[in-house]
Chains A and B, each alone.
Chain A
Amino acid sequence: MTVKIYIPRDAAAVALGAEKVAKAVAETIAARGLEATIIRNGSRGMHWLEPLVEVETAEGRVAYGPVKARDVGSLLDAGLLDGGDHALCLGKTEEIPFLKQQTRLTFARCGITDPLSLDDYQAHGGLAGLRNAIAMAPEAIVAQVTESGLRGRGGAGFPTGIKWKTVLEAAGTRKYIVCNADEGDSGTFADRMIMEGDPFVLIEGMAIAGIATGATKGFIYTRSEYPHAIAAMAEAIEIARKAGVLGASVLGSGKAFDMEVRTGAGAYVCGEETALLNSLEGKRGIVRAKPPLPAHKGLFDCPTVINNVISLASVPVIMDKGATFYRDFGMGRSRGTIPIQIAGNVKHAGLFETAFGLALGEIIDHIGGGTASGRPVKAVQVGGPLGAYFPRALFDTPFDYEAFAARDGLIGHAGIVVFDDTVDMLHQARFAMEFCAVESCGKCTPCRIGSTRGVEVADKIAAGIEPEKNRELLADLCNTMKFGSLCALGGFTPYPVMSAMTHFPDDFQPAPRVEAAE
């Protein structure tokens, strides 16, 4: 058996030079007449160590990182193929604290397996959930997902099982499973990582959803900014189809389910579920008024399950290990695990899957290791561009849907962006409005017009023009947008704006401008 060397194909690793490393390893091994197989795995999620090269040894996998192409020669000199010691050696991968402290259920295989090997997938527990589901009545599958306590990981936190039940009970000869992979929130990359690192788990989750609700066709709607994920998903779907996991008879069950990947075109608002459905239909990504709910009248007016990538990718483990196993993790009404994405100005950035309930400060200071710049943390934005900015004073907030809501925040898709003390919160508030103006679909007035006026008001505050009056105006505008907008884009833009103004009032008190003397 030849030695296996793992070099990630994840976009983050590639962006940090993984292709060059893989090429250098292949060439150097060949030149030295060594025997080894290179496997392009997903990322382990420790992005400050990427490209993270691993070698399989009798004692387990040994990690090296961050590896540059120029390190390859010295790594092989040091006995890389036997897990030899080197300045870049991190010891056994599983023993690295960042990884060891995690509870990996959804991301159990990500970074471990070859993402495009169905055999590897099955050797690591893959398809067990789907096999169980096939043997069950649709109502029983839906009940198991409901009992697990799984809630929508896209941000809304709606119970997945309830959604599925509605579609199961909806009348219709044609139903759809739509996977919302339009992961446009800054600070989030969990969907991208799972699609690139373990695409079969998403396919399996969608197939289970199809069998549970009577849907026969699935769409993954993802972003044009994610070319690596698109390629991995398309290839995995092809492999699954050839192996009979997808098609006219899923794993020989006699039940049909097939799917395809669709690419968005740079519109953030298409992450909103009804805009996404319009986009899939080939229309402008304009938000639809609800009701009717997509579960009743969704894609092409058919009953449609629309779930986030992580919701769907969490289903296989629930169907494999049971509802109780999953719901035993977590706190309150937030059950199971959540892949927290730690990003921005932070030392140990990456993906950390853990049970709900960890305190925000624990995540930032201990797991994340503080800022990358070494300066104090001033603010963290949780939940993407529509999430609130939290100051250190709120770092005791546990990572839980309700706990964040109680403090006028949201966990959203569980992305955290860390800022050091050089950040100007008025500037960030202005950006939130600017982003909303750029990305608004234009259907409702509070979002379309409010965001543009918001930018102007923020500019007036920055210029010292009637700051008191304009701060009041900004708060009033936020109130209108929050309660008057049709969807979360306009409705949640007030979160970053108001939280910035509430928690960082000093940044909204610029010194009155003195007229320049000519």
Chain B
Amino acid sequence: MNIHQPRADIAETTLAIVEELKGLEGPLLPILHELQEEFGYVPQECLPVIARELNLSRAEVYGVMTFYHDFREHPAGRHVLKLCRAEACQSMGGDQLAERAKRLLGIDFHETTPDGAVTLEPVYCLGLCSCAPSAMLDGEVHARVDAADLEALVQEARR
């Protein structure tokens, strides 16, 4: 789910998540994943809490977070549509499908529709290369996506 309410308890929730996971070996990525799962993105307010609890600098935490494509600094739309852009999907018309998706949604990759419904993101391989082109809508995988399938996915996401 990607429903975002402004939250007052960010620091508190972050602390609880960090407390729960800081015993792991190399806990930073699991913590960032959990925060994104909780908030839909990694709010700026989380970073000083993580830094303090893990005895890192804020710059280090920020550096890690921004290195990885998965972690968002801002909330995404209510739905996230990921289209595979890698070679196997290209061989089956992935580029044309991507252009079509952009037209249907009126946005480019890494953008969100003005109504906040859909964020369009590229993904480099979902491991569905034998049934290309592939897509992922809110974690659900779809293969051999043709123009009609794409329209159905966009419709679903638009709701």
A contacts, CB < 8 Å to B: 11-12, 14-16, 47-48, 50, 183-189, 191-192, 217, 223-228, 262-268, 279-286, 300, 341-345, 349-351, 372, 381, 385, 415, 417-420, 423, 428, 431, 435, 438-439, 441
A225:B125 contact, CB within 8 angstroms: yes
A439:B87 contact, CB within 8 angstroms: no
Instruction: Kindly list chain B residues whose C-beta atoms are within 8 Å of the C-beta of A223.
Output: 127
A15:B130 contact, CB within 8 angstroms: no
- Assuming A300-B25, A418-B91, A431-B90, is B130 touching A224 (CB within 8 A)? no
Instruction: Tell me if B6 counts as interface (CB < 8 A to partner A).
Output: no
Instruction: Kindly list chain B residues whose C-beta atoms are within 8 Å of the C-beta of A217.
Output: 25
Q: Tell me the bound Cα distance from A417 to B128 in angstroms.
A: 12
A265:B127 contact, CB within 8 angstroms: no
Give a binary string over B60-103; 1 marks a CB under 8 Å from any A CB, 0 the rest: 00011001111100000000000000111111100000000000
Q: Tell me the bound Cα distance from A439 to B85 in angstroms.
A: 13
B70:A266 contact, CB within 8 angstroms: yes
B127:A11 contact, CB within 8 angstroms: yes
22 contacts between A and B (CB under 8 A): A15-B131, A48-B130, A184-B124, A186-B87, A186-B88, A224-B33, A224-B70, A225-B123, A225-B125, A264-B70, A265-B33, A265-B68, A266-B69, A266-B123, A300-B26, A341-B129, A341-B130, A342-B130, A344-B92, A381-B87, A417-B88, A441-B67
Ordered nearest first, which 7 A-B pairs have the shortest CB separation? Answer: A282-B28, A186-B86, A265-B68, A266-B69, A343-B129, A15-B143, A349-B130
B67:A343 contact, CB within 8 angstroms: no
Instruction: Kindly list chain A residues whose C-beta atoms are within 8 Å of the C-beta of B58.
Output: none
A184:B130 contact, CB within 8 angstroms: no
A283:B129 contact, CB within 8 angstroms: no
A417:B67 contact, CB within 8 angstroms: no
Query: How many Å from the CB of A154 to the closest CB on chain B?
Result: 15
B130:A263 contact, CB within 8 angstroms: no
Query: How many Å from the CB of B54 to the closest CB on chain A?
Result: 8
Instruction: Tell me if B134 counts as interface (CB < 8 A to partner A).
Output: yes
Instruction: Tell me if B1 counts as interface (CB < 8 A to partner A).
Output: no
Instruction: Kindly list chain A residues whose C-beta atoms are within 8 Å of the C-beta of B91.
Output: 344-345, 417-420, 423
Instruction: Kindly list chain B residues whose C-beta atoms are within 8 Å of the C-beta of A431.
Output: 87, 90
- Assuming A262-B30, A417-B91, is B131 touching A14 (CB within 8 A)? no
Segment 104-159 of B: residues with Cβ below 8 Å from A: 123-132, 134, 136, 139, 141-144
A280: which of B26, B64, B68 is its contact (CB, 8 Å)?
Answer: B26
A16: which of B27, B32, B129, B131 is its contact (CB, 8 Å)?
Answer: B131
Query: How many Å from the CB of A21 to the closest CB on chain B?
Result: 14
Query: How many Å from the CB of B109 to the closest CB on chain A?
Result: 11
Give a binary string over B27-53; 1 marks a CB under 8 Å from any A CB, 0 the rest: 111101100000000000000000000
Query: How many Å from the CB of B15 to the closest CB on chain A?
Result: 18
Query: How many Å from the CB of A433 to the closest CB on chain B?
Result: 13
- Assuming A186-B88, A284-B63, A284-B67, is B124 touching A435 (CB within 8 A)? yes
Instruction: Kindly list chain A residues whose C-beta atoms are within 8 Å of the C-beta of B143.
Output: 12, 15-16
Instruction: Kindly list chain B residues whose C-beta atoms are within 8 Å of the C-beta of A300.
Output: 25-26
Query: How many Å from the CB of B17 to the closest CB on chain A?
Result: 14
Query: How many Å from the CB of A34 to the closest CB on chain B?
Result: 29
Query: How many Å from the CB of A309 to the closest CB on chain B?
Result: 12
A186:B70 contact, CB within 8 angstroms: no
Instruction: Kindly list chain A residues whose C-beta atoms are within 8 Å of the C-beta of B30.
Output: 262-263
Question: Who on chain A is nearest to B129 by CB?
Answer: A343
Q: Tell me the bound Cα distance from A48 to B86 in angstroms.
A: 20
Query: How many Å from the CB of A440 to the closest CB on chain B?
Result: 11
Question: Who on chain B is nearest to A419 by CB?
Answer: B91
Instruction: Kindly list chain A residues whose C-beta atoms are within 8 Å of the C-beta of B123.
Output: 225, 266
Instruction: Kindly list chain A residues whose C-beta atoms are within 8 Å of the C-beta of B87.
Output: 186-187, 344, 381, 385, 417, 428, 431
A50:B131 contact, CB within 8 angstroms: yes
Q: Tell me the bound Cα distance from A349 to B143 in angstroms.
A: 13
Q: Tell me the bound Cα distance from A266 to B125 in angstroms.
A: 10
B130:A265 contact, CB within 8 angstroms: no
Query: How many Å from the CB of A464 to the closest CB on chain B?
Result: 21
- From B25, B64, B131, name the one whose CB has the most chain A CB atoms within 10 angstroms: B131
